[in-house]
Structure 1
Amino acid sequence: MNAPSDEQLVAYLDDELDREQRSQLDSLIADDPLLSLRVQWLSRSNLPFKAAYDELAQQAPLDRLQARLDAAPSPQKPGFSRRWFIGAAAAGVALAGVAADRLFLAWQTQQSHNWRERVGDYMALYVPQTLEHLPTDEASQLAQLRTVDARLGVNLSPAKLKLPGAQFKRAQLLEYDGVPIAQMTWLDATHGPLALCVTRTNSGSQPLAHERRHGMNVVYWTEREHAWMLIGHHPASELEDMAKMFKTRLNV
């Protein structure tokens, strides 16, 4: 089943799907934390959707819209459910669709910002002594990376994570608001702790970008269903070179 649309999720929340469709969505939501967040956002929003669509329906040319929907090659004829109002609003009142899209995009942007903020807060606590004592044998690292791969669907190995002048120390799983975040850490002889972090996203691909958090430089990007960030006390130009290298090695 492809990634569900907001209309499908609304139908899921309204209990308007058949048993098979609902079972498929149940499985997807259980396996995808970000999809679960979308469902929570749609179900918990306190915006007056029903009143808004009632008003839009009064203004919209309902007879013409219903005639078009009746003529569509569909095995089911939509009634006046919440899904119908979403379709009518999208077809007849573009402004409402634009406003909803902007609201959801703003929410996605905030979520993307929040996970990097939490990683920055966590990394601000690191000192070289945090990592010095950790075991660095390849068997331990492979076991840690397998755990990350199983949870986030990334293809990592010690060879892909080698950095000049820095020793790979640990891969671990963290969690923020129920969303898993993997953190790979190194101890650099000159600049101290360095971390590459990854989580799932549905925001699509975005190019490398820079920011600063807690006196550290950050390079971040997204590729397909994963969001990545590299954070440390290295100069921004060095971090960008590392990020480009990881994008090539990890095919991201």
Structure 2
Amino acid sequence: MSTKHTIPSDEDLTAFIDGELTQEEAARIEAIVKDDENVAERLEFLTRASLPFEQAFAPLLSEAPREKLAAMLAAIPAHDGAKSDAAPAPDRRRFLGALAASLVAGIAIDRAVIGRSFSSKAENSEWRAVVADYISLYTAETLAGPVPGRQDQAAQLAGLDEKLGLSLSPEAVALPGIDFKRALLLQYDGKALAQVAYLDPETGPMALCIVKSDAGPKAPDLENRKGMNVVYWSNTTHTFMLIGRIPADRMRELAENVRSRLSA
């Protein structure tokens, strides 16, 4: 006989991982995990992602509207089962609360650490799926603001070169008619992941993502994920993907343009 249950939120699962729940709450989640494959997979994902989020997101959080976030967090009620003399929740759980509030407020924050296994066998599909998940959260407001000058672009790209073993320049990653917005160094299962974010005036956010890879050269191919077109390819040392909502033919053209420059 099956019993209906309430799907635990990411915050509940994170609290379970951190050992913050009461015995009754922990037992309830354990039972759900045994019965629900989707919840079990989500718990595994969050367990793998149990890394220093707050430190990774510090630069972006410093730009958030602190007063609005503080007010939203203050409105979140405490759990009835929590002990009054309990120690403050770990930084990581407080940060997840801030992350949720930021998304509600329209502030997009990249997942600087993405906890999935990364191997030559899986990298041609799984990492693209994870990237598509968080790029799908981007809006034009996420990347609002002035376009960085060439000097600022070069400085941001230089921060990626050492970890990726590349020599990226603003000219090499430029997309005609599309604004460069920022370059970030993220992490995928312990491996550096470079993200160059763009804003197309017609279709919205785009991103060029790069990881080291020993999977070998692969010609460009096209797929669709989360309603976005993805062109992906690899050379002997790196795997690349360009993702956005631009029509497929135009996306192929842009990908070939940037691929030729990155291969030069």
Q: 2:91 aligns to what? A: none
Equivalences for residues 226-245 of structure 1 within 5 A:
226-245=238-257
Equivalences for residues 124-143 of structure 1 within 5 A:
124-133=136-145, 136-143=148-155
Q: 1:161 aligns to what? A: 173
Give yes or no for contact 1:196–1:228 (8 Å, CA) kept in 2.
yes
Greater mean alpha carbon deviation, residues 175-184 or residues 108-117 = 108-117
2:123 is aligned with 1:111? yes
Give yes or no for contact 2:147–2:180 (8 Å, CA) kept in 1.
no
Per-residue deviation, 1:161? 2.3
Q: 2:186 aligns to what? A: 174
Give yes or no for contact 1:205–1:222 (8 Å, CA) kept in 2.
yes
- TM, length-normalised to structure 2: 0.53
Per-residue deviation, 1:131? 0.6
Q: 1:161 to 1:111 in 2, by over 3 A?
A: closer
Per-residue deviation, 1:135? 5.3
Per-residue deviation, 1:155? 1.9
Give yes or no for contact 2:174–2:258 (8 Å, CA) kept in 1.
no
Q: What amino acid sits opposite 2:214 in the alignment?
A: N
Give yes or no for contact 2:184–2:194 (8 Å, CA) kept in 1.
yes
- Deviation >4 Å, runs of 4+: none
Give yes or no for contact 2:160–2:194 (8 Å, CA) kept in 1.
yes
Give yes or no for contact 2:182–2:197 (8 Å, CA) kept in 1.
yes
2:214 is aligned with 1:198? no
Greater mean alpha carbon deviation, residues 159-168 or residues 211-220 = 159-168
Give yes or no for contact 1:207–1:221 (8 Å, CA) kept in 2.
yes
Give yes or no for contact 1:134–1:170 (8 Å, CA) kept in 2.
no
Q: 2:261 aligns to what? A: 249
Q: Percent identity?
A: 41
1:196-242 superposed Cα distances (whole Å, 9 cap, x missing partner)? 11001101001111111110000000111100000000011111111
Per-residue deviation, 1:134? 5.6
Aligned to 1:210, which of 211, 222, 237?
222
Per-residue deviation, 1:176? 1.5
Q: Measure the CA separation in 2 of the matches of 1:214 and 1:134.
A: 27
Q: What amino acid sits opposite 1:163 in the alignment?
A: L
Q: Measure the CA separation in 2 of the matches of 1:110 and 1:224.
A: 16
1:91-132 superposed Cα distances (whole Å, 9 cap, x missing partner)? xxxxxxxxxxxxxxxx63323312111110110110001111
Q: What amino acid sits opposite 1:158 in the alignment?
A: P
Per-residue deviation, 1:133? 2.2
Structure 1 or 2: more helix by fraction: 1
Per-residue deviation, 1:157? 0.9
Q: What amino acid sits opposite 1:172 in the alignment?
A: L
Structure 1, gaps ≥5 residues long: 1-106
Q: Measure the CA separation in 1 of the matches of 2:177 and 2:222.
A: 22
Q: Measure the CA separation in 1 of the matches of 2:212 and 2:125.
A: 13
Q: 1:134 to 1:182 in 2, by over 3 A?
A: farther
Q: Measure the CA separation in 2 of the matches of 1:196 and 1:124.
A: 14
Equivalences for residues 1-252 of structure 1 within 5 A:
108-133=120-145, 136-251=148-263
Structure 2, gaps ≥5 residues long: 1-118
CA RMSD of aligned residues (A): 1.4
